[in-house]
Structure 1
Amino acid sequence: MKNFLEDDFLLQSDFAKRLYHGYAKDLPIIDYHNHLSPKEIAENYQFNTISEAWLAGDHYKWRAMRTLGIHEDYITGKASDKEKFLKWAGTVPFTVRNPLYHWTHLELQRYFGIHELLGPDTAEEIYENTNAQLAQKSHYAQGLLQQQQVESLCTTDEPIASLEYHRIIKKQGVSPKVFPTFRPDKAFALEGGDDYVLYLEQLSEVSGIAIKNYEDLLEALDNRIQFFHDQGCRLADHGLEQLYFFEEGTYNIQECFLKVKNGRPIPQDQVNYFKSQVLLFLGRKYHAMGWAQQFHLGAIRDNNKRLLSQLGPDTGFDSIGDFSQARALSGFLNALDSTDQLAKTIIYNLNPADNAVIATMVGNFNDGSVKGKVQFGSGWWFLDQKQGMEEQMNTLSNMGLLSCFVGMLTDSRSFLSFTRHEYFRRILCNLLAQDVVNGELPADEKWLGKIVSDISYYNAKSYFDFNK
């Protein structure tokens, strides 16, 4: 029997241990997609309590606490930080076999040197210990990132964002380097009605372009892309149920836009057509700018309308959707590729039933111009756990080239989440090593070690090239 979370955690053979400790463990981190606050990084924010750093905004933990029957007051409500932490500590022992159990104890070990298991008996001591460490500069926002050797990270930013904090961070010259990511979802969300019209007013203000028609919208987006590019942005991201594709001219796009702008609803097909046309415009622009584009596909959001009305979005009521993906994804990528305007592209899939669809689809558009130009992205959201990551890498291995994979990202709002890169690297090393143990791969440590290092760090460093 092995001890829990020992040095060789998740490494089930000597070869796996050699791969991880020799070729992955000490590499820096490139976290190319997360939701950290650039303001908190720029200001080197000091968290007041472990609850603020660890529980606020973490809907993974919130879902677990609700499932255990804990009242909302102790989750997002009016209870004190200490009360919330004690409730979370009481929850942790019941999260066995959920990735939260691993992540919780990895984070306690790596950031705070705490090896005790979190539970009701240890909660008070761990609360005081972590709070004391968070009061030290080594555990301010920048220090937490530096502890995990984060070399660079990309935040997720609205087109209307000023990016003022990115400029401050760059001027400070601190580590890690922080880059914005262009996330324009609200710019084509016609279903938003009045909220969409309000967003257009904000986009008009920051771009200096009065948005009176569809062409004005595209000009304003073009303006903001150039602004983001000048601030170091080299990535765009989009969160969609599915990609959409229609033949150009299926609907009158000007009429679609003007109806919504003037407060009149339009059918869902026309909303989807509008999205597809804006996304094609953006995709061509990303290619011209030398950016990479990311598409997070498959989430069905805000399912619990009662609690959504009380707590708002992003509070733990999203899940995996079962949307049709293949046909429209093919049409969308082909429309860009047909004129050689397909940017480097990463497709993240949330429904494991679609893994093979995505893995084979990306292979259709790798044209030899860039190593791994079109990527099947890392296990995302509900799939960034051991089984989900293994299934994503197994499917990619069977139907593409795992060796070209750009690896892991946190997709997190927490400064304490970067141990997920370690978690991923351990799983990767064990996966490859098991093939060696089975005689399915040669025991070529140097070569397999290079592949591990590439997937853990070097592929992403080459793919994104933030220095340009």
Structure 2
Amino acid sequence: MSSIKTLNPLNSTFITDNFLLQNKFAEELYHNYAASQPIIDYHNHLPPEEIVADHQFKNLTQVWLKGDHYKWRAMRALGVDEYFITGDATDEEKFLAWAKTVPHTLRNPLYHWTHLELKRYFDIDELLNEETGPAIYEEVNRKLQMPEYSCNGLLKKMNVETVCTTEDPLDSLEYHKAFDAEKAGFKMSTAFRPDKAILIETDTYNTYLNDLASVAGVSINSYNDLKAALRKRIEYFNQNGCTLCDHGLNYVSWEPATDSQVDEIFKKRRDSAKLTKLEVEQFKTAILVFLGEAYHEFGWVQQFHLGALRNNNKRMLSQLGPDTGWDSIGDYKQAEGLSSFLNALDSKDRLAKTIIYNLNPGENEIFATMIGNFNDGSIRGKVQWGSGWWFLDQKDGMEKQLNALSNMGLVSCFIGMLTDSRSFLSFPRHEYFRRILCNLLGKEMASGEIPKDMNLVGEMVANISYHNAKNYFNF
């Protein structure tokens, strides 16, 4: 970077070619079997309208800090005023506040991600801090005006083959319809996320159902009406290339009830009456089973992200709204409800390909063993334990997930990493995961715990990095 002068000879980046690779086996695995594999990002929250428009970001704050509650939490922990985070400070002031924060993130994955992203997207070899921040901001802003740094350009820089965004049943999918894969140079799909139709206890539930009724072109006055409306939207999504769904729930409910009981519960809520906790669980159980059977019918993959305790800080929630950095790991009871739900579908031979993700590392072995209960030999890796996500998509979290899956299942069938991100700059997390995977295996090759057979281990690395997902999703 000719425009940035090194203020300190020790201020060069530590993101070398062999970053995180601690021996020759790990290096060979990564460089020969993982690095060149395309990226299939099968779950994220990228805005499809920006992909279709091939949006060009005005500055680094807009593409890197806006909406990134990981960074916001770190800045708050350091004592940065909200004015410089989500407030009215200028974009440059917000970036410089982040630059000042970065040195204090040592040993947090943000330190790795920050410098990996600066290097991979913008060829910046400087450590970001208060001194280098102004020049880095200027340099990146200059590059962001170039065509190759548009949204689609950023994705192509990372060798992205497929991105799968996440949409509510109300969505028209207008941007997915307008998307030109040949022009963009990669594929874009969507995942159906009907959580707002499931969370019957929310204050806005009836308003949401009114909107759903309008979009589906039906009246929703009974539970059967709701199922008909959701089915119409599933059919619509399916017609427009959707092959996945996703649910972000605290846990999978399991309180069976008769159809008439569920209908009574639903009508009670439509009349704005308050439901008991049991009634809420009975409704959620019924609607999840209905959806699970529909997903199987259409040949979709169903995903369940479980275990977040959301919106803990009510004062800040009232000021800033949800998804602004006030969530944490929950300690819900997961095993019995999840087992009963999967069993209900499997007993009718209506269990779709399923990916379950947990957020509480204390439950790793629960999830690792749960998938084995429903892998029936019909499909390779039919039921998957998804990669470490949110608070666990860091080195320690990924290693623990890989070790538990290896110990209690077949890591060779694992479909690998995803970003689950709203940022176009988050895709080096696939590289991060692949380096961690290769290092884990490389250390065991060196110690003699697994064979020093590069073809054997390398093939598994390539499959986890790319081929398993390619075959699983049929993208």
CA contact (8 A) 1:33 1:409 kept: yes
Letter in 1 for 2:216: S
What is the CA deviation profile of residues 91-126 of structure 1, one whole-angstrom value per residue up to 9, with x for unaligned ones?
A: 000000000000000000000000100001101100
What residue identity is the alignment partner of 2:282? Y
Matched, 1:269 2:316: no
Give the TM-score of the pair, scaled to structure 1: 0.98
CA 1:69–1:3 in structure 2 vs 1: closer, same or farther (change >3 Å)? closer
Q: Which amino acid aligns with 1:298?
A: G
Residue pairs, 1:292-303, within 5 angstroms:
292-303=301-312
Q: Distance in 2 between the 1:337 and 1:60 partners? A: 38
Q: Deviations over 1:11-68 (max 9, x none)?
A: 0010000000000001100000000000000000010110000000000000000000
Instruction: Label 1:456 to 1:171 Cα distance change in 2 as closer, same or farther (>3 A).
Output: closer
Cα distance, 1:247 vs structure 2: 2.7
CA contact (8 A) 2:364 2:401 kept: yes
Q: How does 1:398-413 map to 2 (within 5 A)?
A: 398-413=407-422
One of 379, 382, 385 as aligned partner of 2:388: 379
What is the aligned partner in structure 2 of residue 31 from structure 1? 41
Q: Which amino acid aligns with 2:70?
A: Y
Per-residue CA deviation, residues 400-452 of structure 1 (Å, 9 max, x unaligned), is 00000000000000000000000000000011111111110000001110000
2:376 equivalent to 1:367: yes
The answer for the alignment partner of 2:160 in structure 1 is 150
Give the CA deviation at 1:259.
1.2
* Residue of 304, 309, 319 corresponding to 1:310: 319
| Aligned counterpart in structure 2 of residue 45 of structure 1, from 43, 50, 55 | 55
Q: SS state of the match for residue 302, structure 2?
A: strand
Residue 401 of structure 2: aligned partner: 392
Question: Is 2:335 the partner of 1:337?
Answer: no
1:104 aligns with 2:114: yes
Aligned to 1:64: 74
**Counterpart of 1:453 in structure 2: which amino acid?**
A
Structure 2: runs of 5+ lacking an equivalent:
1-9
Equivalence for 1:164: 174
Counterparts of 1:10-29 in structure 2, within 5 Å, are 10-29=20-39
Number of corresponding residues: 465
| Structure-to-structure mapping, 1:43-442, within 5 angstroms | 43-170=53-180, 173-193=183-203, 195-249=204-258, 252-442=261-451
Q: Deviations over 1:344-401 (max 9, x none)?
A: 0000010000000000011000000100000010001000000000000000000000
- Which segment drifts farther, 260-269 or 367-376? 260-269
Partners of 1:45 and 1:454 in 2: how far apart? Answer: 33
**Distance between the aligned counterparts of 1:438 and 1:308, measured in 2?**
50
TM-aligned CA deviation for residue 249 of structure 1: 2.3
The 1-side partners of 2:172 and 2:403 are apart by: 41
Shift of 1:260: 1.1
TM-superposed deviation, 1:255: 1.3
- What displacement does 1:172 show? 6.1
Q: Which AA in structure 1 matches 2:146?
A: Q
Runs ≥4 residues deviating over 3 A: 170-173
Contact 2:181 2:188 in 1 (8 A): no
Matched-pair contact (CA < 8 Å) for 2:359–2:388: yes
Displacement of 1:173 after TM fit? Answer: 4.0
CA RMSD of aligned residues (A): 1.3
The answer to whether the 8 A contact 2:13-2:125 is kept is no
Code of the residue aligned with 1:57 in structure 2: it is G
Structure 1 counterpart SS, 2:255: coil
Q: In the aligned structure 1, how far is the partner of 2:13 from the partner of 2:308?
A: 36
Q: Distance in 1 between matches of 2:407 and 2:227?
A: 40
Residue 251 of structure 1, CA deviation: 7.9
Q: Distance in 2 between matches of 1:49 and 1:253?
A: 51
